[in-house]
Chain A
Amino acid sequence: MSSVVESLSCFVRSSIGKKILVAATGLVLVLFVLGHMIGNLLAFAGPDAINAYGHLLQTSLHGGGVWIARLGLLAAVVVHVVATISLTRQSRAARPDAYGRQKAQVSGRAARTMIWSGLTLLCFIVFHLMHFTVRNIENFGGPDYEVVLDGEKMHNVYKMVVVGFSHVGVSAFYILSMVLLYGHLSHGVSSLFQTLGLATYRSERIFKAIGHAYALLILVGNCSIPLAVLAGVLK
């Protein structure tokens, strides 16, 4: 037993082991981001659709479902952030003296700025949770935000989204964060196939294309909501 733990902790402390953790937690977050976006797009199907969806999430497994998801996602984010910061620090230390001239031949800007897009996303995640989950940036609770649907009282998610995104500054920060998420994903998604040892000579291009298409899908899908609110399409 203890030797299992010892070997595993040695594994996750190694550079490759740590990077595999980054990829595995990245994959969890990638899948979550897609599900989250699809759910949110229900706003375009009208208030009832998204309110019922919100209610379903809140009440699944007698209210336990949402907490299982929250704890799982929290763990994924914490591991992802701790591992990437640790790897970034180790790799900075691996080149203490900078070159006078250094030319990147093939790597793109998105790849070279993963830590910065990531840290901004971390700020965004904290803000987003305070905004729509804890709701202590603006008061989205109380009787003003209650609706009754099929005889059940539930939170008016639709109204919260519309009021939340009607502030231009808030919407602008969401959109900026989504642009950075686009960068993070356009490198990250194809990169995780390499880290997990799945890329091959033949499939590599397909994974690259999937990564870019996925990143674009998330960008367009997520930005459409604040933009629709600002344009008065969702009201």
Chain B
Amino acid sequence: MSLLNLHLKVWRQHRGQPGHFQDIEAREIPDHASFLEMMDIVNERLITSGQDPVAFDHDCREGICGMCSMQINGVPHGPERATTTCQLHMRHFREGDTIWIEPFRAKAFPVVKDLMVDRGAFDRIQQAGGFITVRTGSAPDANAIPIGKEVADAAMDAAACIGCGACVAACKNASAMLFVSAKAGQLNSLPQGQPEKDRRTLAMVRQMDKEGFGHCTNHYECEAACPKEISVRWITKLNRDYAAAGLREAFVGRQEAAEGGD
């Protein structure tokens, strides 16, 4: 184990007030610490010296909850591919490095404090259509509906999305298309998702627009930043599903829709 001395530039902000970067010297950080453990060490020292610790989100610390949102040196969750901040280790940094640490920035993700942002917009998009309607009570038989292996695998890839917001943070337009396309696409590919497919697609995209996210310019920074490597092909599918749903909504009446089984 070796120890690293790092210069941190950390964003400090209270909700609704202008923020600024604070220079913090992080001395003698063990290189086997995770990034969040480094933040813990820094915070312990801030508290001991009577200063306000840096507020940041975290929960599982094993890459599955999606809470640890931070822009590290200009990239969501730091420079390593397919990792969350909690999975990033300090051995990827060098002695004397300067590290910029900022919140995910988007109008739809207002800063709560320092590095913590409110990602409630994602929840509202999910509530708008990211579900299927089922009878609750008696659990349905798990394998009652046959699903092709390819379909199941693809839906599983989309379901890997942990809703961390890295796609929004990485996008130059603060677009939520990768998130929305994964959530809509997962259900839109499965038989259980078919009955509400159009309604879901339209509602989720409309909520996405309403929350003030930007649009997709097909740069694919989101895919590069995604800790779960969600593919931009889900965005292709969302574009396709949305166009079809929009045209059906405009031209197809209730009866014809019923004939089509949708």
Contacts and interface: CB of A to CB of B under 8 A. Distances in A.
Interface of A: 3-4, 7-8, 10-11, 14-20, 87, 90-107, 111-112, 114, 187, 191, 194-201, 204
A141 B129 CA distance: 62
Given A15-B213, A91-B173, A198-B236, 6 more contacts: A7-B250, A92-B214, A99-B105, A187-B218, A194-B236, A201-B231
Contacts of A14: 205-206, 209, 242, 246
A103 B242 contact: no
Contact of B239 (A11, A105, A197): A197
A201 B233 contact: yes
Contacts of B241: 197
Nearest to A196: B239
B127 to A, nearest CB: 19
B199 to A, nearest CB: 13
B36 interface: no
A97 B105 contact: yes
Nearest to B18: A97
B92 interface: no
* Contact count band on B: 35 or more
Nearest 6 Cβ contacts at the A-B interface: A197-B240, A91-B214, A91-B173, A103-B74, A107-B219, A94-B214
A99 B74 contact: yes
Contacts of B237: 197
B214 A95 contact: yes
Interface string B199-224: 00000011011001111111111011
A103 B73 contact: yes
A194 B218 contact: yes
B232 interface: yes
Contacts of A198: 236
B161 interface: no
A199 B102 CA distance: 34
Nearest to B100: A101
A111 B217 contact: yes
A104 B76 CA distance: 11
25 contacts: A11-B247, A15-B215, A17-B242, A20-B239, A90-B214, A94-B173, A94-B174, A94-B213, A95-B106, A98-B105, A99-B102, A103-B73, A103-B74, A103-B75, A104-B221, A106-B219, A106-B221, A106-B224, A111-B219, A112-B219, A194-B232, A195-B218, A195-B239, A196-B239, A197-B237
B225 interface: yes
B106 A87 contact: no
Contact of B215 (A91, A200, A204): A91
Contacts of A199: 233, 236
Given A94-B174, A199-B233, A199-B236, A11 B215 contact: no
A24 to B, nearest CB: 10
Interface of B: 9, 11, 19, 21, 71, 73-75, 100, 102, 105-108, 170, 172-175, 205-206, 208-209, 212-221, 223-225, 231-233, 235-243, 246-247, 249-251
A10 B202 CA distance: 10
Contact of A106 (B107, B220, B250): B220
Contacts of B75: 103, 105
Contact of B238 (A11, A16, A107, A191): A16
Contacts of B172: 91, 95, 104, 107, 112
A111 B236 contact: no
B18 to A, nearest CB: 9
Contacts of B74: 99, 101-103
B107 A19 contact: no
Nearest to A11: B246
Given A7-B250, A94-B214, A100 B102 contact: yes
Contacts of B106: 94-95
A219 to B, nearest CB: 21
A79 to B, nearest CB: 16
Contacts of B174: 91, 94-95
A16 B173 contact: no
Nearest to B223: A106
Interface centre among A102, A111, A114, A201 (most CB of B within 10 A): A102
A4 B250 contact: yes
Nearest to A102: B74
